[in-house]
Amino acid sequence: MKRYLGYVIGFALIFIIGNSIYEYNKKMDMYKKSYRLDCHKKMTSFERVYDINKIKAIQKMLLTGNYTLTSSIQKSVYAKSKLFDFVKLDKMDKITLETLKSYSKKIEQSDSALKISYYIYENDIKDPGKKTEKSKSYAGYVVFKFKDENDELIYQSQIDFMDKKGADLPQSIECAIESFTTY
Give per-residue pLDDT as tens, 36-76. Answer: 888 888 888 999 999 999 999 999 999 999 999 999 999 99
Verify that 5 and 92 share a domain, yes or no: no
Verify that 173 and 92 share a domain, yes or no: yes
Q: Are the CB atoms for 183 and 167 separated by under 8 Å?
A: no
- What is the pLDDT at residue 123? 93
Q: Are the CB atoms for 159 and 44 separated by under 8 Å?
A: yes
- Domain extent at residue 90: 33-181
Verify that 76 and 4 share a domain, yes or no: no
Q: What is the mean pLDDT of residues 155-159?
A: 95
The whole-angstrom separation of Cα 8 and Cα 13 is 9
Verify that 20 and 53 share a domain, yes or no: no
Say which CATH number the domain at 107 has. 3.30.160
Burial (CB < 10 A; 0-12, 13-18, 19+), residue 177, is buried
Burial (CB < 10 A; 0-12, 13-18, 19+), residue 174, is middle
Verify that 60 and 122 share a domain, yes or no: yes
- What is the pLDDT at residue 74? 96
Q: Which residue has the higher pLDDT, 4 or 69?
A: 69
Q: Are the CB atoms for 75 and 87 separated by under 8 Å?
A: no
Verify that 46 and 10 share a domain, yes or no: no
Question: What's the predicted TM-score (pTM) here?
Answer: 0.79
**Interacting residues of 62 by C-beta distance below 8 A, sequence separation 6+:** 100, 103, 104, 114, 180, 181
Question: What confidence category does residue 24 fall into, taking pLDDT thresholds of 50, 70 and 90?
Answer: very low
Verify that 17 and 52 share a domain, yes or no: no
Q: What is the mean pLDDT of residues 109-134?
A: 88
Q: Are the CB atoms for 126 and 85 separated by under 8 Å?
A: no
Structural domain count of the chain = 2
Verify that 15 and 39 share a domain, yes or no: no
Verify that 96 and 53 share a domain, yes or no: yes
Verify that 12 and 53 share a domain, yes or no: no
Q: Are the CB atoms for 168 and 141 separated by under 8 Å?
A: no
Buried b (16+ CB within 10 A) or exposed e, 64-81: bbbbeeebebeebeeeee
Q: What is the mean pLDDT of residues 147-161?
A: 95
Verify that 18 and 86 share a domain, yes or no: no
- What is the pLDDT at residue 1? 60
Verify that 50 and 22 share a domain, yes or no: no
